[in-house]
Chain A
Amino acid sequence: MIEESILKSNFIGRDGFKWWIGQIGPESCQGDQINEKGNAWGNRIRVRIMGYHPQNPIELPDNQLPWAQVLLPSTAGTGGGGMVRSIRLTPGDSVFGFFLDGDDAQQPVILGAFGRPSFDTKLGPYKQPFQPYSGFTSENPPSTYFVNNEVGTQEGAQVISIPEDLTEQLCKVLNDKKLQSFIGKFGEEVGKLKFNKEKLKCACLSLGRIVDIPSSKLSNSKICQIEISTEMENMVSDIKKIKESFDPSAFKEEISSLFDTDAIVEVADELESTAKELQNVFEPFLKEQVSELEGVLKETITARKDSAAKHLKVLGGGLAAAMMNNVTSEIADKANKGLISVGDSTFAAVFAATKKRNMAKQAAIRAQESFLPALKNFKKGMPCVLQNVTDGLTESLFDMIDGLAENVDNFTSCIQTQLLGGITNQIMGGLIKGIMPSIEGISKLTGGLDIGGFLRGKASSLADIAAIFECEESTPLAPVDVQQITFGGGPKQVIDSLVDDILNVANKADSLTDGLLDVADAVSGLGGGMGVFDFMNPSVSVPGFKSPFGECYSGPKLSCAGVKINIFGKGGVGASARAIFGDKIGKGVEAVGSIIGIDLKSGGSGYNGNPFIEIVDDCEQGYGAVAEAVVDMDRHSPTYQQVVDVIVITPGENYPIKNEQEPIVVDHIVILDPGSGYTKDDVIEDSAGNQYTPIVDRVGRIISVISPNNTEDNVNEITDFPKLTVKTETGEGAVLQAQLKPRPSYQGEIKQVIDCIS
């Protein structure tokens, strides 16, 4: 021993390199170092070294393990000059290092760490040395937001997932699919483990929610209608999410797994107790937990409904005020004609009797003035009528909200129309009920104006036109571009319930309730006829549901139409297009793919800028596709103000392919950036192997690209999102986009041209 110590210097670099592999000790033994309390540097960690330290904490307790220095990479800094990067080692990590003091093995240094393998996904706390355990600590607990994978980099870049910007609905669809796929590949047990590691987590509950950006150039009633629809649609969607977030059966299963029944019986036997007694403990516990969660669920739903009610009361009041204005304006017009008529007839009568014009005139004015008290009374009563209508509406709104929340699973356009029809009917009923008694005093002037007939018969009573200044541009509504956006998505086309449709629904409801609201002594609230609407009927979510309003099934989707391309905004109309799919996965009805192109069917007209493209998947499973429209703004062009191209920016994935698609080829190339330095000898090639010829200008910009003739040349079919490569030695910066079309009928290659004229 003495001889050995004489021979050994125990100095780093002189006695050989003594390396080791070890495991970082648990949090409890790391003291201030790991938790960075006090003045600790945080770069010393207690480590249990294989082959040097015993495998049990009794022989060598964790808190007596040696401190290991952590060697820092040269790019991390040392703390000098304020340059440093924190050490990211956690308890349980397997580390590699060497001893500064050679065989004395008291001064270990950590050089690096082994990444954690995939099976460490759900590790428990520290149990004993050299067993894998979780790196989470009291100061760094698992996240409620991130998927808590404890995996190293050797599994690939995808293992540390980040919550996705997807809607809850999409996450659910994708996770269900992923789980089934893993179970199919690896069996139930391994499949579920793998799924837990790779399942998607959604970034934000609000994604997918509709946000209104109404223009002040819209009429007040239109703004109210849009916002009422949006609030109701968001509420239905939110409540659906809240309900889906709590599945009592899954919860019971989870709790039951904690109370392993076999173990209960075993333990019960051992303790000479009965399983029944334990069950008696378990059952009330489960019941209590479920009831507590149900209570939270109920509270959350109630809070959401209250929020909607508060908002809708304001909007409903606005709609009522707009309709009230229209009605009083109509009454004023009629009364004005009546007043003039009274004046004329009085003047004529007095003049005929007296032949005195002045006297006749004074008599006419007095006759007209005799109506003033009644007119003033009418005017004075109107604010109260409006207040009563708004108050009456509040109660109905609560009922509507309850009905929608309970019965409607899918906020369809017919539900939207009925909803607006219901509110309109309620307002109309209230106005008629309120105005009828007051108008009697001036009925001689209004000539028995039928308020009900006016409100229920004319769309103008609903659609007040926004005041437009004189001399303003001829298309004042053209700048109204985006009125709605999908939160996290993009511009959304407003689904507009037509005024006539709303009025028809309101009138239908009125006829079904025998004009209950129009009767002066009618009861207020739900008695006013809300019950007739489909959204108040639980059967509305039963397939095949029909009502006097027609077919308005609003349950979970039974089938879906697939992808629709909406082109809207910028003052134009009529452009239409359809999606071209590629990157296809699956067959038949299960086929899904990316949107690799958009086939423009009609360019429309009147666009004063590039309109918005909304890609809507009715099946709610596709996501990620973004496209841009291009409008021809050359005044001399025959396609001036028409959409001439729709360019796919990102193709997305998982879109349903509803119909068998014809072969797709490149129709033409769009130059997004001409670049510079290209020559006429450069060649452009797409990912399918087709070649194109660039036309370049004097400074080497690509100003045009000649595509093969698809009817004559045997071009290769495009199946994936096309990527174009310019084979060049001199050029740079060109950005080109291949625009796709279904292949035109192929004529075959021209082998020989025979001139028959001689």
Chain B
Amino acid sequence: MSEKEPSWQKRQVDSFGKFRIEYGSPQNQLKGPRVYTLVAEGNGKDKTSKIGMGADGTYDIRVDETLNLSGGAKGTPPREGNGVVITSVEGGIAITCQKGKLSLVAEEIELVATKNIHQSCTSGNITLDTPKKVHFKVRDLDVDMGIFNGNSVVGDVVVRDAGFLAKVCKGTEVNFQE
């Protein structure tokens, strides 16, 4: 069986040894042919990077080691305010690191959603740790908890323990609190 032989008429390549620029390669990759590619190798195996655009319109940046994206590198506030702006004009933004930690460190962190904010973790805890206060400004606050550990009940706050004992004692007058 012979192979499909594409036309190489359009292809241009500029090679600098371990850095190459390629345009118009007719070879198919996982998502079809590439429009252009910048590809380079660092010192040693598995230290490569590739940037480029596919014929399907997607754009990829890939690096074997760390991808650094820095803004405001001059050390003074950028003229436009933000050092880095990541925008998805339509559609979402997915950041995934399944085996690592996603760190967000900032002077101030704002999460603003026009609809919902969901936070969940499949195992482990969610910790809010602050020397000052945690402020909930909500219409209703539903807390569906197993155990409530609180130091004080103040003013109009009513704590309904929805944990195991609360469920068991629901509808009775048993005082299950310690």
Contacts and interface: CB of A to CB of B under 8 A. Distances in A.
A623 B11 CA distance: 20
Nearest to A584: B4
- Interface-centre pick from A160, A165, A329 (highest chain B CB count, 10 A): A165
A653 B26 CA distance: 11
A209 to B, nearest CB: 10
Nearest to A379: B164
A617 to B, nearest CB: 11
Nearest to B17: A140
Interface magnitude class on chain A: 35 or more
Interface stretch (A35-43, A54-62, A217-225, A352-360): A217-225
B32 A224 contact: no
A652 B167 CA distance: 59
Given A146-B41, A469-B116, A329 B167 contact: yes
Contacts of B96: 211-213
A164 B50 CA distance: 10
A178 B29 CA distance: 16
A375 B165 contact: yes
Interface in A291-317: 307, 310-311, 314-315, 317
A220 B120 contact: yes
B94 A482 contact: yes
Contacts, number: 208
Contacts of A585: 1-4
A653 B28 contact: yes
Nearest to A466: B120
B136 interface: no
B3 A145 contact: no
A592 B48 contact: no
A203 interface: yes
Interface magnitude class on chain B: 35 or more
Contacts of B176: 372, 375
B4 A145 contact: no
Contact of A165 (B12, B13, B31, B94): B31
A751 interface: no
A623 B48 CA distance: 23
Interface string A624-661: 11100000000000000000000001111110000000
Interface string B9-53: 101110111101010010111111110010101001110101000
A555 interface: no
Interface string A439-482: 00000010000000000000000000001010010000000001
Contact of A160 (B20, B32, B46, B48): B20
A321 B55 CA distance: 45
Interface string A147-172: 00000000011101011111100000
A145 B64 CA distance: 12
A88 interface: yes
Given A163-B39, A223-B122, A339-B169, A592 B1 contact: yes
Interface stretch (A125-133, A256-264, A330-338): A330-338
A489 interface: yes
Interface of B: 1-4, 8-9, 11-13, 15-18, 20, 22, 25, 27-34, 37, 39, 41, 44-46, 48, 50, 54-58, 60, 62, 64, 94, 96, 98-99, 116, 118-124, 144, 146-147, 163-165, 167-176
Q: When A and B form their complex, which 3 residue pairs have the shortest distance between CB atoms, in order from nearest?
A: A650-B32, A624-B28, A318-B122
Interface of A: 88, 140, 143-146, 156-158, 160, 162-167, 177-178, 181, 203-205, 207-208, 211-213, 216-217, 220-221, 223-224, 227, 230-231, 307, 310-311, 314-315, 317-319, 321-322, 325, 328-329, 331-333, 335-336, 339-340, 343, 361, 365, 368-369, 372, 375-376, 378-379, 382, 445, 467, 469, 472, 482, 486, 488-490, 583, 585-586, 590, 592, 594, 623-626, 649-654
Given A213-B94, A653-B28, 6 more contacts: A325-B146, A375-B164, A469-B116, A490-B58, A649-B57, A650-B55
15 contacts: A140-B18, A143-B41, A163-B50, A203-B39, A211-B98, A227-B98, A319-B122, A328-B146, A332-B167, A336-B169, A489-B31, A583-B4, A594-B4, A624-B32, A654-B28
